[in-house]
A and B are shown apart, each in its own frame.
Chain A
Amino acid sequence: QVQLQESGPGLVRPSQTLSLTCTVSGGSISSGDYYWSWIRQPAGKGLEWIGYIYYSGSTNYNPSLKSRVTISEDTSKNQFSLKLNSVTAADTAVYYCASGETRGYSDYWGQGILVTVSS
């Protein structure tokens, strides 16, 4: 069974870059078996799909964030990462990494990491 764990700073300054890493166990990010996604959830609000990375590094991003988002992979460490630049308070949320065998939905989720954007 795939297990995911998010890591990264819990506090980011406005206008800076949010950087998170998801470490995967129980599955290989280079196998082509899964789509590797990032999803976020502001406190007390709903879920927002950010994007995914798939086999050989192909990506798909939410257009609402596309100009600021990069999802990349490090196959040597079996990790994938999220970078969101020019952050504002509106980017404060719990960020989840997740994976699914089918494009679009996620069978497996990390526990989530709270990222606060504040000076």
Chain B
Amino acid sequence: EIVLTQSPGTLSLSPGERATLSCRASQSVSGSYLAWYQQKPGQAPRLLIYGASSRATGIPDRLSGSGSGTDFSLTISRLEPEDSALYYCQQYGRSPYSFGQGTKLEIK
């Protein structure tokens, strides 16, 4: 099983700043099959990014994904209060399709 390690565990930033969230895989993720989700308290996850860099429907271009192999990142520019949430990466290149443990983004 591919283990995904996300860092940092918690990120605290101010509105207008840029956040960079990291996701590192224990093995190379084939085809850059890496997705990012946002989850707010009491809600289901929401797909943000798939294929490492493609935005899902309705996702603003303030959010961008990058990376390949074992190192991936999600960047959120011009932070807004509504970006406060948990963020998970998921690899779907090899079954079982594992998730990272999450990064909590706090907007001060």
Contacts and interface: CB of A to CB of B under 8 A. Distances in A.
Contact of A109 (B35, B44, B88): B44
Interface residues of A, number: 21
B47 interface: yes
Contacts of B12: none
Given A106-B47, A107-B47, A47 B99 contact: yes
A104 B97 CA distance: 6
Contacts, number: 55
A112 B42 CA distance: 9
Give the interface size bracket for B toward A. 20 to 34
Q: Is chain B's interface secondary structure helix, strand, loop, or mixed overall?
A: loop
Contacts of B95: 60, 62, 104
Interface string A23-67: 000000000000000000000001111000000000010111000
Interface of B: 1, 33, 35, 37, 43-47, 50, 56-57, 88, 90, 92-93, 95-102
